[in-house]
Structure formats: structure tokens, C-alpha cells
Amino acid sequence: MRIAQISPLHESVPPKLYGGTERVVHFLTEALVDLGHEVTLFASGDSTTRAELVPCAPAALRLNKGVQDPLAQHVNMMERVFARAREFDVLHFHTDYLAFALARRQSVPHVTTMHGRMDIPDYGPLFRTYAEAPIISISDAQRDPLPRANWVGTVYHGLPVDLYKPCLGHKSYLAFVGRISPEKRVDRAVEIAKRLGMPLKIAAKVGEADRKYYEEQIEPLFRDPLVEYVGEIGEAEKNEFLGGAAALLFPIDWPEPFGLVMIEAMACGTPVVAFRCGSVPEVMRDRVSGYVVDTLDQAVSATARAVELPRDRVRAYFEERFTAPRMAADYAAIFEELVTGARLRRAGGRAAFGLAAIDSDADAEGGRGVDGLGGEAGVGMD
């Protein structure tokens, strides 16, 4: 298949530092190339890929101080994508709802993977307006706020099998990886570590939107001698950081759509202690990959037990469920369904038009019937 992958421009593909969506786009793009597909990646110009790269911004936007309106760059990218749309069998967007209006007005099969939370009040009217837009979830739990949207599949994230090496043996510290924000609850991680008397290493990004929260509520917690804040880390540091940990703490307090760091830890053989929110019960296997908990007391107890879980079993669980080849195969199957569906609708439209043309009593209703096929499954008719 000729597949267009359309990535956000906030980070490069793959990101230099923090960036979950763009990392998944990278793993998926490379795995689709491995499967023999002809892939084109629309992304920032500092991206690296074996696919054809179409640079839609000179460099990633987040770290570019000269960028004042990222939306303008993304609108420009959409124009470039749809100008070339007919070169592809399927368009795969990772840009939330940004392509919906243009996508419904053209005939190339398309689908959007939603990477964020769906419990945003503005999404209700939006997804009613674009009820036909085909979307993919990254966990079944992600669908809960909008169960009637046109979900065409759930595809769990995956990592290259050889990206991380399992780190076996006894480990001494706990790890936290992510963003410093209220919903990620790094304060819970500090409390768990303090109760157990274990060192805690925190590798996390502080975004400008959360700067005040960090300075007022979190930074004082980092003065505890058990806590070491190392800042953002990139791909090169993750294996050592996560693999060296006795357990990863994932103490979230929000409807997590997936939680990529959980499977990163598993790939290193590191057990995870995660709070039961959003996707966690789907991603985790209790007492195999770690523990799923509901309270801080349970988290403290589970962390003490998690450090004793066999790390080779944690790694085996990752290989069973969360590899990039599996992810790419799942996406390719959905793409095939979309392409096949579009062909059938086009064939049906041509048949209807042909019957109208030879029927001497046919009137304009036949033509409107053909046009009415557009959008029924997110694939319009020109």
C-alpha cells in the first residue's frame, strides 16, 4: 500500500527529547516500511526516517523560540498533504481533528488516530458534526467519553523489539518518567518513595503551562534527599534509566489514553506500579507486569512486592503484546479495510450511475444518490 503518515510538528520524528505521539509515529512508520509498504512521512524537517520525508516545517516547533503560532504551520501542512492525496491509498493522520473538514471533501480513504484524552466538553459537538470521520483509539478506555464516534479499531502502541534490552538483577531505586503536571501526580511518587525509604529518580519535562504548579507545589518536594530530579531524557538514556530501576511508578490521576512509558519499562524488564485510571487495566497484567492499585497505601505495598517480580517475565509480557511489528500489522489491517470499503462504494456508485443512464425514466434523483455515498464511512466521493 501507498501510505501517508501525517505527524504533528511539535516534535521531530523521532523526538530529540520528550514526545510520545511523534515517537509512536516513528516506530509505526519504520515498521510499515519493514512490512514492504510505500510510506511517505509528513513531519518536521529534522525528522529521520527510511520512508520518504516531506518536511512541513524546518524543525520541530516546541523548541523553536521563533514559532509564535504552531497552528499556522499545521494548516500549511494540511494543504501539502491534500495536494498530494491522490498519490496514496490511505492517509493516516496523527493530528487530532485538524484534517476532518478537508478529509470529508475528497475521495482518498483516511483515518485519524486519536492520541489524547477524549473527555473534553468541546469534543461532543465536534464529533457530532463529523460523525462519519473514521478514528482509531489507542485503548478501549479512551473511547468511553464518546462511545458513538466512528471508532474503526483500537491499536495499542508498540516498540521495536530491540529498542531496549532487558536489565535483570537487583535494582535499588524507583523511577518516574513523564511530565510534571497535576494529572501525572509526581507528588504521589515522592510519597511512595518516602514511605519505603527508597531513592526516587525523576525524569520529567516541565511545560510552560505547568511551570507555576511545578514551582509552587512540586519543586519543594524535590528537596528531599531521597529524590533526584534529572530533567528531560531522550531515547539514548531511557534504557539505562528505566532498566536500572527496581520499579516504575505510574501514579496518574486522569483518564490516560495509553501510557507509553509503561511498555518502555516492561521492555527493560522493569515492573510497573500504576493507578487504575484510563487504559491502565488494559495495558497492565496484574502480578505479571507489575501491579494495578487504587490507593496510595496499596501503591506502597505493591511497590514493595513489585521489586521481587521476575524481570524476565515482565519482558516476555512486553514481547507478547506491545511490539512495533504487531502495531504495524494491526494498522495495516485497518488500512486494508478502509481501502476495500472505498473501492466497494465507488463500484456501487458507478453501478447506480450506469443504471440511471440506461433507464429512460430515470431523473436527477439517481445523480443525487451517487453523491450521497460520500462520507458514510469517512471516505468522500469527489
Cis peptide before 8 (omega within 30 of 0): no
* Residue 294, Cβ density class (10 Å: 0-12 exposed, 13-18 middle, ≥19 buried): exposed
Please give the CATH number for the structural domain made up of 173-322. Answer: 3.40.50.2000
Question: Which CATH architecture describes the domain 2-154?
Answer: 3-Layer(aba) Sandwich (3.40)
Q: Is residue 229 within 8 Å of residue 202, measured between CB atoms?
A: yes
- The mean pLDDT of 115-119, rounded to a whole number, is 96
Task: Say what the pLDDT of residue 348 is.
Answer: 79
| DSSP secondary structure code for residue 217 in this structure | I
Residue 355 has pLDDT above 50, yes or no: no
The whole-model pTM stands at 0.87
Residue 347 pLDDT: 85
Q: How far apart (Å, rounded) are the C-alpha atoms in residues 44 and 42?
A: 7
Q: Where does CATH 3.40.50.2000 sit in the chain? A: 2-154, 173-322
> Would the pLDDT of 352 be above 90?
no
At 207 the pLDDT is 86
Q: Is the pLDDT of residue 379 over 60?
A: no
Per the document, the length of the chain is 382
* Three-class DSSP category at 162: coil
pLDDT of 54-90, one tens digit each? 999 999 998 787 888 999 999 999 999 999 999 999 9
Nearest to 272 by CA among 246, 240, 298, 296: 246
Mean pLDDT confidence for 335-351: 86
**What are the tens digits of pLDDT across the range 262-301?**
999 999 999 999 999 999 999 999 999 999 999 999 999 9
In this prediction, residues 162-172 reach a mean pLDDT of 89
Asked if pLDDT for residue 151 goes beyond 70, the answer is yes
Residue 371 has pLDDT above 50, yes or no: no
Q: What is the pLDDT of residue 64?
A: 81
pLDDT of residue 100: 98
Say if residue 250's pLDDT is above 90: yes
pLDDT at site 236: 85
pLDDT of residue 373: 26
- Please give the pLDDT value at position 367: 32
Band (pLDDT 50/70/90 cuts) for residue 372 is very low
The mean predicted confidence, pLDDT, of the chain is 90
Least confident segment among 36-40, 92-96, 376-380: 376-380
